[in-house]
Amino acid sequence: MTSRIPRSAPVAASLPPAGLEGLDPSFSRLVSARESEGLSVSHEWHVLDNGPRLAELGVTPVGTILCVHGNPTWSYLWRSLVSRATDAAAGGHEAWRVVAVDQLEMGFSERTGQPRNLARRVRDLGDLTDALGLTGPVITLGHDWGGVVSLGWAVDHPELLAGVALLNTATHQPAGDPIPAPLRVTLLRGVLGAATVGTPAFLETTLSLAHPALSDEVKAGYRAPYLEASRRGGIGGFVADIPADDTHESFPELERIAGGLRFLAVPALALWGPRDPIFGDRYLDDLVDRLPHADVHRFEGAGHLVAEDVDYASSVLTWLGDRGTELSSLGTAARNPSRFATPAEPVEEKLDPNRFDEGYVKPVKAGPPAGLFRYLDELRDNADTALVEMAPAGSKTPNVVSWKLLSKRVRQIAAGLAMVGVKRGDRVSLLIQPGADLTAVLYACLRLGAVVVVADAGLGIQGLTRAVRGAWPDHVIGAPTGLAAATALGWPGQKISTAKYIKPVRRSLDVAYSLGDLVSLGVEEELPELPSPDDTAAVLFTSGSTGPAKGVVYTHGQLAALVDALSTAYGVGPGTGLVAGFAPFALLGPALGARSVTPDMVVTSPKTLSAKAVAAAVEAADAAVVFLSPAAVTNVVATAGALDDAGREALEGVTTFLSAGAPVSERLLAAASALMPNATAHTPYGMTEGLLMTDITLEGIRDAALELGGPGGVCVGLPAANVSVRISALDGNGEAHGVLADTPYVTGEIVVSAPHIKDHYDGLWLTERESRRGAVPGERWHRTGDVGHLDDRGRLWVEGRLPHVLVTENGVVTPVGAEQRFESVFEVARAALVGIGPRGEQQLVAVIETVPPAFRVSLANSALASAVRASTDLPLAAVLVVPNLPTDIRHNSKIDRVRLGAWAGDILTGGRMTRP
pLDDT, greater one: 143 or 660: 143
Average pLDDT, integer, range 760-770:
94
Judged on CB neighbours under 10 Å (0-12, 13-18, 19+), 680 is: middle
Question: pLDDT category, 896, cuts 50, 70, 90?
Answer: confident
Which of 63-77, 173-187, 529-543 bottoms out in mean pLDDT, i.e. has the lowest? 173-187
Q: How confident is the model at residue 336 (pLDDT cuts 50, 70, 90)?
A: very low
Mean pLDDT of the residues in the chain: 87
Distances (CA, A) of 257 to 280, 347, 827, 859: 20, 48, 69, 66
801 membership: H or E segment, kind and range: strand 796-801
Span 19-45, average pLDDT = 91
**If you average pLDDT over residues 833-838, what whole number do you get?**
94
Any idea what DSSP says for residue 113? S
In this prediction, what percent of the chain has a pLDDT beyond 90?
65
Domain boundaries in the chain? 25-327, 393-529, 690-757+766-802, 805-908
Percentages helix, strand, coil for the chain (3-state, rounded to 5) are 35, 20, 45
Q: Which of 66-70, 467-471, 728-732, 878-882 has the lowest mean pLDDT?
A: 467-471
CATH class of 25-327: alpha beta
Per-residue pLDDT tens over the stretch 187-238: 666 567 777 888 999 999 999 999 999 999 999 999 999 999 999 999 999 8
Classify strands 577-580 and 595-598 as parallel, antiparallel or unpaired: parallel
Q: What are phi and psi of 790, to 5 degrees?
A: -100, 145
Do residues 335 and 774 lie in contact, with contact meaning Cβ atoms separated by under 8 Å? Answer: no
Highest mean pLDDT among 66-80, 376-390, 448-462: 66-80
Higher per-residue confidence, 330 vs 2: 330
Same fold, 25-327 and 393-529: yes
pLDDT tops 80 at residue 797? yes
Q: How many residues does the chain have?
A: 916
pLDDT score at 183: 67
Q: Report whether pLDDT(844) > 50.
A: yes
Confidence of residue 580 (pLDDT cuts 50, 70, 90): confident
Specify the long-range contacts of residues 489-498, CB closer than 8 Å, at least 24 apart: 489/461, 489/465, 491/429, 491/465, 492/281, 492/282, 492/285, 492/468, 493/427, 493/428, 493/429, 494/420, 494/421, 496/420, 498/432, 498/437, 498/441
> What pLDDT, on a 0 to 100 scale, did the predictor assign at position 242?
85
Please, are residues 881 and 857 in contact by the beta-carbon 8 Å criterion? yes
Environment class of 142 (CB within 10 Å of its CB; exposed 0-12, middle 13-18, buried 19+) = buried
Helices (H), ranges, 577-687: 583-592, 611-621, 630-638, 645-651, 666-675
d(CA 82, CA 51): 10
Distance, in Å, from the CA atom of 563 to the CA atom of 323, rounded to the nearest integer, reads 35
Region for residue 571 given its phi and psi (left: phi exceeds 0; alpha: psi -120 to 50; beta: otherwise): left
Give the orientation angle of helix 460-471 with respect to helix 480-488, to 10 degrees. 70
Lowest mean pLDDT among 63-77, 167-181, 469-483: 167-181
pLDDT at 891 over 50: no
* 702 alpha-carbon distance from chain centroid: 36
Q: What is the pLDDT of residue 6?
A: 54
CATH of domain 690-757+766-802: 2.30.38.10
pLDDT by residue (tens digit) across 636-655?
999 999 999 999 999 999 99
Q: What is the CA radius of gyration of the chain?
A: 30
pLDDT in tens, 343-357: 333 333 333 333 333
Measuring CA to CA, which residue among 558, 544, 551, 546 is closest to residue 296? 551
CA distance 209 to 197: 19
CATH number of 805-908: 3.30.300.30
How confident is the model at residue 393, as a pLDDT?
Answer: 64
SS3 sequence of 358-379: CCCCCCCCCCCCCCCCHHHHHC
CB 16 within 8 A of CB 28: yes
Q: How far apart are CA 410 and CA 425, in angstroms?
A: 18
pLDDT at 339 over 60: no
Taking the C-alpha atoms of residue 849 and residue 365, their distance in angstroms, rounded to an integer, is 46
- Whether 695 and 802 have beta carbons less than 8 Å apart is answered as no
Q: How confident is the model at residue 315 (pLDDT cuts 50, 70, 90)?
A: very high
Reported confidence tier of residue 543, pLDDT bands at 50, 70, 90: confident
What is the spatial distance between Cα 525 and Cα 610, in angstroms, rounded to a whole number?
Answer: 43
Please check whether residue 123 is in contact with residue 103, taking contact to mean a CB–CB distance below 8 angstroms: no
Q: Which amino acid is at 348?
A: E
The answer to whether the beta carbons of residues 270 and 166 sit under 8 Å apart is: yes
The answer to whether 301 and 275 are in contact (CB under 8 A) is: yes
Q: Is the pLDDT of residue 528 over 70?
A: yes
* CATH of span 393-529: 3.40.50.980
Q: In the prediction, which pLDDT does 450 show?
A: 96
CA distance between the termini of the chain = 60
Q: What's the rounded mean pLDDT across residues 725-749? A: 95
CA angle 548, 141, 770 (to 5 degrees): 35
